[in-house]
Amino acid sequence: MKVSQMLISTLRENPAEAEIVSHQLLLRAGLIRKSASGIYIYLPLGMRVLEKISAIVREEMNRFGGQELLLPIVQPAELWQETKRWDVYGEEMFRLKDRHNRDFCLGPTHEEIITDLVRREVNSYKQLPLLLYQIQNKYRDEKRPRFGLMRGREFVMKDLYSFDRDQEGLEHSYKKMYQAYTNVFKRCGLDFRVVEADSGAIGGSTTHEFMVLAETGEAAIVYCDECDYAANVEKAEAIPMETEKEPAAEMELVATPDARTIEEVAGYLKVSPKRLIKTLFYRADDEIVAVLLRGDREVNEVKLQNHLDCLQLELADPKQIEEIAESPVGFVGPVGLNVKILADKEIPLLTNAVAGANREGYHYKNVNPGRDFEIDEVADLRQVEAGEPCPKCGAKLNSARGIEVGQIFQLGTKYSEALNAKYTDENGQEQLLVMGCYGIGISRTMAAAIEQNHDENGIIWPITIAPAQVVIVPVSTKEEAQVEAAEKLYRACLNAGLEVILDDRDERAGVKFKDADLIGYPIRVTVGKRTVNEGTVDVKLRHSGEEQAVQLTEATSHLKELVDNLFKQYQAQYEGITA
3-state DSSP of 485-532: HHHHHHHHHHHCCCCEEECCCCCCHHHHHHHHHHHCCCEEEEECHHHH
> Over pLDDT 70: what percentage of the chain?
97
Are 431 and 542 members of one domain? no
Q: What range does the domain containing 447 cover?
A: 42-237+398-451
In a domain, 579, yes or no: no
Same domain, 258 and 230: no
In contact, 88 and 112? CB cutoff 8 Å: no
Element (H, E) at 305: helix 301-308
Q: Is 577 helix (H, G, I), strand (E, B) or coil?
A: coil
Task: Give yes or no: residues 160 and 274 share one domain.
Answer: no
What own/partner pairs with CB < 8 Å and gap ≥ 24 does 77-85 have?
Answer: 77/102, 77/103, 77/104, 77/105, 79/112, 79/113, 79/116, 79/419, 80/105, 80/112, 82/112, 82/418, 82/419, 83/111, 83/112, 83/415, 83/418, 83/419, 84/418, 85/112, 85/201
Q: Residue 200: what pLDDT?
A: 58
- 5 lies in some domain: no
* 339-362: pLDDT as tens digits: 999 999 999 999 999 999 999 999
Average pLDDT estimate for 62-91:
93
**Structure confidence at residue 440 (pLDDT):** 97
> What is the tens place of the pLDDT at every residue in 388-440?
899 888 899 988 888 999 999 999 999 999 999 999 999 999 999 999 999 99
pLDDT tens digits, one per residue of 102-158: 999 999 999 999 999 999 999 999 999 999 999 999 999 988 888 888 889 999 999
Gap between the Cα atoms of 544 and 538, Å rounded: 15
d(CA 430, CA 14): 60
Residue 58 to residue 55: CA distance in whole angstroms: 5
Q: Give the number of domains in the chain.
A: 3
Which backbone phi and psi does 182 adopt, to 5 degrees? -60, -45
* pLDDT confidence of residue 16: 84
Q: Tabulate helix, strand, coil % of the chain (nearest 5).
A: 30, 30, 40
Question: Is the distance from CB of 356 to CB of 327 less than 8 angstroms?
Answer: yes
Q: Give percent above pLDDT 90 in the chain.
A: 70
Report residue 15's pLDDT band, with 50, 70 and 90 as the boundaries: confident
In this structure, are 221 and 257 located in the same domain? no
Specify the CATH number for the domain of residue 285: 3.90.960.10
Among residues 322, 328, 324, which one has the least CA distance to residue 287?
Answer: 324
We report the CATH number of the domain holding residue 95 as 3.30.930.10
- Same structural domain, 485 and 429: no
Strand 377-379 and strand 340-344: the pairing is: parallel
Q: Are residues 232 and 279 in the same domain?
A: no
Strands (E) located in 334-421: 340-344, 353-356, 362-367, 377-379, 398-412
Higher pLDDT, 546 or 89: 546
Indicate whether 339 and 194 sit together in one domain. no
Q: In this structure, are 184 and 225 located in the same domain?
A: yes
Strands (E), 165-249: 192-196, 206-213, 219-223, 230-232
Count Cβ atoms below 10 Å from residue 4 Cβ, excluding itself.
13
Whether 457 is in a domain gets the answer: no
> Under DSSP, is residue 147 helix (H, G, I), strand (E, B) or coil?
coil
Q: Is the pLDDT of residue 574 over 80?
A: no
pLDDT of residue 145: 85
pLDDT tens-digit profile of 299-308?
999 899 989 9
The CATH number linked to 508 is 3.40.50.800
> Is 525 domain-assigned?
yes
State the number of CA atoms in the 13 A half-sphere of 135 facing the CB: 16
Q: In this predicted structure, what is the pLDDT of residue 205?
A: 63
Q: What is the pLDDT of residue 202?
A: 52
Boundary of a domain, candidates 349, 379, 409: 379
Is the domain of 197 the same as that of 332? no
Mean local confidence (pLDDT), 259-286? 93
Is the pLDDT score of 579 beyond 70? no
DSSP H helical ranges for 330-463 = 414-418, 442-452
Task: Flag whether 285 is in a domain.
Answer: yes
pLDDT at 474 over 70: yes
Q: What is the pLDDT of residue 198?
A: 66
pTM for the full predicted model: 0.83
**For the chain, what is the mean pLDDT?**
91
121 backbone dihedrals φ, ψ, rounded to 5°? -105, -25
Q: 184, 133 in Cβ contact below 8 A?
A: no
Q: Cα 562 vs. chain centroid, distance in angstroms?
A: 32
End-of-domain residue from the set 426, 451, 476: 451
- Residue 13 is assigned to a structural domain of this protein: no
Contact 252, 365 (CB under 8 A): yes
Q: Is 456 helix (H, G, I), strand (E, B) or coil?
A: coil
CA distances from 521 to 49, 138, 448 (A): 11, 29, 17
User: Element (H or E) spanning 319, and its range?
Assistant: helix 318-325
Q: Do 534 and 429 sit in the same domain of this protein?
A: no
Question: What is the CB neighbour count within 10 angstroms for residue 386?
Answer: 13
Q: Per-residue pLDDT for 570 more than 90?
A: no
Give 192-230 pLDDT, tens digit per residue: 989 887 655 555 568 899 999 888 787 888 888 888 888
Segment 52-57 shows an average pLDDT of: 96
**384 domain-assigned:** no
The reply to whether 435 and 502 lie within a common domain is: no
Is the residue at 462 inside a domain? no
Mark whether 437 and 497 lie in a shared domain. Answer: no
Q: What does the pLDDT read at residue 203?
A: 53
**Lowest-pLDDT range, 130-134, 282-286, 336-340, 533-537?**
533-537
pLDDT surpasses 80 at 69: yes
